[in-house]
Structure 1
Amino acid sequence: MKFKAIHFFLCFIFIFLPSKSFAIEGNKDLYEDQDDPLSFMVEVLPWDQVNNIMPKYTIFTIIDVETGLSFKVQRRAGSQHADVQPLTYKDTKIMKKIYNGKWSWNRRAILVLVEDQLLAASMHGMPHGAGALKNGFPGHFCVHFWESTTHKRDKMDPAHQLMILKAAGKLDDYFNQIDPYKMIEIFALAVNNHDKNILAETIVDNKYKQKLTTKMTKDISYFSIMGVSLLPMEDLNYQLVMEVPVKVEFLDKNKGKSKKVIHFVVRRDSLVDRWYIEGQTILKEIK
């Protein structure tokens, strides 16, 4: 009943309260830090602030953006991001349900409810390392916030960054700003994360969109960009259609591994519109 009450309350506040705004790139106002009492507006806060808000042993609630399912966790460790564990066996069961019954490294957009704050975040679903709680979860998993990093990189993980933007409701703003090369990168990230919703947002809306989305999320296990032929950035300002040769490696569950150059056709309707990828050209070259 507690989780149902949380879902009802959050649905109510999401309808009637706007999210806090923030700039995506190249702006000092990247996030807002207004500690309004019991505001429950979604905040995108940097890791150094979150690290203080929820120190080690903090118990908080994770809400999966797509399914609405929620479960409780405890932060156990982590210096560059939060290493957390489901609190109980019941919480582990709910988390596994979110991942369709199979643990996965796929990133998911989540909201973190900690006391009176609701934070945009991202998690993966793969138990690893040590675990201390009696919860049926063999290890811990990672929760990322804005500007947090993995153990191996000193920059934000691109897939986690994308999920945080999704959790904050800022994907449209982000897609409106990025160049064709970044859109191709997001196409690959969505394929690797098996996120059909974000993948669909990168593709031109025509009869090929659903076919390509289904093909890439159902049959392609991974899709790696090995190299891209780049134009000078100043030349992009006056382009409406671009053909971008991209050297890729991918694994088709039905045909095995392939390495080839795929010619992405990326277009926009006007100089002020956002970029989309033509689906039919990718379908022809992926077969």
Structure 2
Amino acid sequence: MKKTLLLVFLFICLSQKQALAANDQPRPHISFQPVLLSWDVVNEIIPRKSSFAVIDIDSGQSFKVQRRAGSGHADVQPLTKDDTKIMKKIYNGKWSWRRRAVFILIDDQLIPASMHGMPHGAGAIQNGFPGHFCIHFSGSTTHRTRKFDLSHHVMILKAAGKFDDYTASLSAEEILNIFLITAKNHDKELMEGISISNMNKNDGSYNVLNNIEGMKWTIKKSQEDHDFPLVSTFPVETKIYLDEVGPVKITQTFTLIRTSLFSPWKVMRDPFVTELAENGR
């Protein structure tokens, strides 16, 4: 019980510290309001062969694409070789399946969306891009499973400014799953919003997240303390492909904590980052 109370106290202190730090961060200025639209609506706005701009939210860089195909989401290609170069720069010079939050700008409409950065399949434009890539919108599905992609969904919510509202009422297990998605996508901003840490994020401790090339996981049954339901733990088996290291398997117990029965769950992320760093050496 003393250990649990100490965790709660630590959580409160760290949450207040992180909230103050977040208020000091500058936010990019958008000249008009993004509108979250369903895929059924967007499908009509960007018909096949239409061209539009993709704006990467984190970097602020933009490039143009043309929609070529896609029924459950948009299959697109960069419009020119210069657009391909910009897109690859956004992904730090290396194509990746990682999802990124973006806006689609067409005419006077700014639409939240999510893209990945991996060329695949066919491509018909002479643009130096070997195939096409996917852009998902609210309500989009994958073409293989016909189900929505949670990793894309998280990034769409980030683009729409609705991520915090979405995570506020999730269960501990659901928050942990979202946390692991943010790690896979190298999104430290979202990760920090649903977790707590005693590490100094400016000392390079989290750079190891940039080495994640791929990641899968299985969350086991909760070891929840029913006498004190503000703490929950989950054993998790992860298979992670680390750049310059290769595949590693990590079995670890994650601890989540909240300040009241009505507060959102937060993941204690330091053990995960430490384990990654040790395996990445």
**Is the TM-score greater than 0.5?**
yes
Aligned twin of 1:242: 232
User: Which structure 2 residues correspond to residues 1-287 of structure 1 after superposition, within 5 A?
Assistant: 11-13=29-31, 40-207=32-199, 214=206, 216-230=208-222, 239-252=229-242, 257-283=247-273, 287=278
SS of the aligned residue for 2:177 comes to helix
Which one is further off, 252-261 or 139-148?
252-261
User: 1: distance between equivalents of 2:111 and 2:147?
Assistant: 20
Shift of 1:108: 0.7
Query: Per-residue displacement from partner, 1:229-259 (whole Å, max 9, x unpaired)?
Result: 0479xx98x7211122223333455776444
SS of the aligned residue for 1:206 comes to coil
SS of the aligned residue for 1:43 comes to coil
Report % sequence identity: 46
Q: Residues 135 and 46 from structure 1, CA distance in 2 versus in 1: closer, same or farther, beyond 3 angstroms?
A: same
User: 2: distance between equivalents of 1:212 and 1:95?
Assistant: 26
Q: Residues 213 and 148 from structure 1, CA distance in 2 versus in 1: closer, same or farther, beyond 3 angstroms?
A: farther
SS of the aligned residue for 1:199 comes to helix
Gaps of 5+ in 1: 1-9, 14-39
User: 1: distance between equivalents of 2:216 and 2:200?
Assistant: 22
Q: Residues 212 and 136 from structure 1, CA distance in 2 versus in 1: closer, same or farther, beyond 3 angstroms?
A: closer
Gaps of 5+ in 2: 1-27
User: 2: distance between equivalents of 1:266 and 1:129?
Assistant: 40
Indicate the RMSD between aligned Cα atoms, in angstroms: 2.7
Read off the aligned partner of 1:94 and give its amino acid letter: I
User: 2: distance between equivalents of 1:173 and 1:111?
Assistant: 19
Read off the aligned partner of 1:272 and give its amino acid letter: F
- Contact 1:145 1:164 survives alignment (8 Å): yes
Read off the aligned partner of 2:138 and give its amino acid letter: W
Shift of 1:50: 0.9
- Contact 2:205 2:273 survives alignment (8 Å): no
User: 1: distance between equivalents of 2:204 and 2:171?
Assistant: 21
Read off the aligned partner of 2:229 and give its amino acid letter: Q
Q: Residues 53 and 183 from structure 1, CA distance in 2 versus in 1: closer, same or farther, beyond 3 angstroms?
A: same
Shift of 1:217: 0.5
Relative contact order higher in (CA < 8 Å, ≥ 6 apart): 2
With structure 2 as the length reference, what TM-score do the two structures score? 0.79
SS of the aligned residue for 1:172 comes to helix
- Contact 1:62 1:71 survives alignment (8 Å): yes
SS of the aligned residue for 1:245 comes to strand
User: 2: distance between equivalents of 1:166 and 1:77?
Assistant: 25
Shift of 1:60: 0.8
Query: Per-residue displacement from partner, 1:47-104 (whole Å, max 9, x unpaired)?
Result: 1111111111111111110111111111111111111111112211211111111211
Q: Residues 131 and 258 from structure 1, CA distance in 2 versus in 1: closer, same or farther, beyond 3 angstroms?
A: closer
Q: Residues 222 and 86 from structure 1, CA distance in 2 versus in 1: closer, same or farther, beyond 3 angstroms?
A: closer
SS of the aligned residue for 1:67 comes to coil
User: 2: distance between equivalents of 1:133 and 1:92?
Assistant: 11
Shift of 1:203: 1.9
Shift of 1:213: 6.3
Shift of 1:274: 1.2
With structure 1 as the length reference, what TM-score do the two structures score? 0.77
User: 1: distance between equivalents of 2:75 and 2:271?
Assistant: 42
Shift of 1:204: 0.7
SS of the aligned residue for 2:140 comes to coil
Shift of 1:283: 5.0
The size of the alignment, in residue pairs, is 250
Query: Per-residue displacement from partner, 1:9-39 (whole Å, max 9, x unpaired)?
Result: x9352xxxxxxxxxxxxxxxxxxxxxxxxxx
Q: Residues 257 and 106 from structure 1, CA distance in 2 versus in 1: closer, same or farther, beyond 3 angstroms?
A: closer
